[in-house]
Amino acid sequence: MGIIVQKFGGSSLSSGKRTKKAVERVIETKKAGHSVVVVVSAMGREGDPYATDTLINLVNSPKDTDSRELDLLLNCGEIISAVVFSQHLKNEGYESVALTGAQAGIITDESFNEARILKVNPERVLNHLKNGKIVVVSGFQGITEKGDLTTLGRGGSDTTAAALGVALNADLVEIFTDVDGVKTADPNIVKDAKTLKVATYDEICELARQGAKVIHQRAVELIRQKNIPLKIRSTFTDDPGTLVTHSNGNGAEVEIKNDRLITGITYMRDLSQIVIKSNKGECLTKSQLIIFKAMAKSHISIDFISISPCEIKFTVNEKDLKKVKKVIEDLSLSAEITKDCAMVSVVGANIRGIPGIMARIVEGLVEKGIQILQTTDSYTSIWVLVKKQDMAEALNAIHEKFELC
């Protein structure tokens, strides 16, 4: 039998009882005859002693901390977690070995705090598997060619699991978390969101890109390259979860029908809308290029861009607002700024051009008296900008309109 990679997020490791469930999952898989590679995140969430956010809070000002040293600090969370997990397996009588990301052969670039995996050298992991051991790898981390430890950014353990899955040519990568799978919306906000039983890589990639944090977009992109089946499921329930695949290859006995119009609805918070209007009715044509170049020069990422001759609208993350104001001031322009906005995205393959979709979205929002600040679309998503306080109601209204429940 082949290799299965099983990743457990912080929410699955936040208490002894939860970790026990995770350990049971691994043992079940080993007993079924598979070689198992476990990828673990740091234990728990902010406030828990060794969670990533707790470690970040150990330094007074994370933003001003040397990024290489911050990564040294953050590596500790997953290393502790891997050793603890491996020890649990040993206590249950299973041979196991804990490895750091570096020891597992994860080589990254030098973008500390947000490093990208360049390659994986799976030799050491394979040798341990050959010797019958369960290999427990610290997620979210790697090492540069020069030997500095790095971290992969938010959702990085998903990426570690995917990269190992690809490098080891695994039969399956399983992402275990605290919900039953990928749902039609975040179940914390839309209570009756439904678990997607099967989905394509493209669908899940798009949901992740638009904010569904249940899996990281980069993980899906990696795994898609080799068509390795991916399952997202709960550590704590027996629900089969969401199977992500292209087709019924690689032993996954499911055929995907691409006839679903809407896959799900996602959101992103903490946005501000910027509207730059021309002075005295002149056209902004000349200023357009200057504005966008100045934003890029200040490393400000902008979205939701809408350009007309006398008006430019876009959104920025609230953390960049100070920089944006400075750019606008330096260009002697004036802007209307609406803070506390959120973007709601309706995600589905090929929704552009299908008549009536926008009408249903608008109808759903208008019925609830929700103000639409801006909309835009692509082939796979329609985005609506609303006030943050309306976001939850907007998600529920649209979810209901498309009868996703």
Give residues in contact with ligand ADP (CB under 6 A): 9-12, 41, 177-179, 182-183, 185-188, 207, 212-214, 264
Least Å distance between CB 177 and ligand ADP?
3
In our burial notation (b when 16+ CB lie closer than 10 A, e otherwise), range 78-101 reads bbbbbbbbbebbeeeebebbbbbb
State how far the Cα of 231 lies from the Cα of 195, in Å rounded to an integer. Answer: 12
Q: Are 211 and 267 in contact (CB under 8 A)?
A: yes
Q: Are 250 and 229 in contact (CB under 8 A)?
A: yes
Residue nearest ligand ADP, CB atom distance: 9
204 binds, among ligand ADP, Mg ion, none (CB under 5 to 8 A by kind): none
81 versus 287: smaller Cβ distance to ligand ADP: 81
9 versus 142: smaller Cβ distance to Mg ion: 9
233: three-class secondary structure by DSSP: strand
Token pair listed for 338: 């609406």
109 versus 178: smaller Cβ distance to Mg ion: 178
For Mg ion, which stretch binds (CB under 5 A), given 9-17, 72-80, 135-143, 367-375? 9-17
Identify which of 219, 280, 273, 296 has the alpha carbon closest to the alpha carbon of residue 384. Answer: 273
In 172-263, the DSSP E strands lie at 172-177, 198-199, 230-234, 242-244
Q: Interface with Mg ion includes 9 (CB under 5 A)? A: yes
Residue nearest Mg ion, CB atom distance: 9
Least Å distance between CB 214 and Mg ion?
7
Least Å distance between CB 270 and ligand ADP?
15
Residues 6+ apart with CB under 8 A from 298: 323, 324, 326, 327
Least Å distance between CB 198 and ligand ADP?
14
Least Å distance between CB 235 and ligand ADP?
8
Least Å distance between CB 254 and Mg ion?
24
Least Å distance between CB 10 and ligand ADP?
4
Identify which of 398, 347, 336 has the alpha carbon closest to the alpha carbon of residue 372. Answer: 398
State how far the Cα of 184 lies from the Cα of 264, in Å rounded to an integer. Answer: 4
Q: Give the pairing type, strands 106-108 and 117-120.
A: antiparallel
State how far the Cα of 309 lies from the Cα of 290, in Å rounded to an integer. Answer: 14
368 binds, among ligand ADP, Mg ion, none (CB under 5 to 8 A by kind): none
212 binds, among Mg ion, ligand ADP, none (CB under 5 to 8 A by kind): ligand ADP
Q: Scan for tokens 């005295």, then name that residue.
A: 280
For Mg ion, which stretch binds (CB under 5 A), given 3-11, 68-76, 164-172, 325-333? 3-11
Angle between helices 321-330 and 285-297 (to 10 degrees): 140
150 versus 195: smaller Cβ distance to ligand ADP: 195
Q: For residue 35, give the H/E element and its range.
A: strand 35-40
Least Å distance between CB 269 and Mg ion?
17
185 versus 271: smaller Cβ distance to ligand ADP: 185
Least Å distance between CB 29 and ligand ADP?
18
182 versus 365: smaller Cβ distance to ligand ADP: 182
183 binds, among ligand ADP, Mg ion, none (CB under 5 to 8 A by kind): ligand ADP
150 binds, among Mg ion, ligand ADP, none (CB under 5 to 8 A by kind): none
39 versus 373: smaller Cβ distance to ligand ADP: 39
Q: Side-chain half-sphere of 291: how many Cα atoms within 13 Å? A: 25
272 binds, among ligand ADP, Mg ion, none (CB under 5 to 8 A by kind): none
Tell me, rounded to whole angstroms, the distance of Cα 135 from its chain centroid. 24
175 versus 328: smaller Cβ distance to ligand ADP: 175
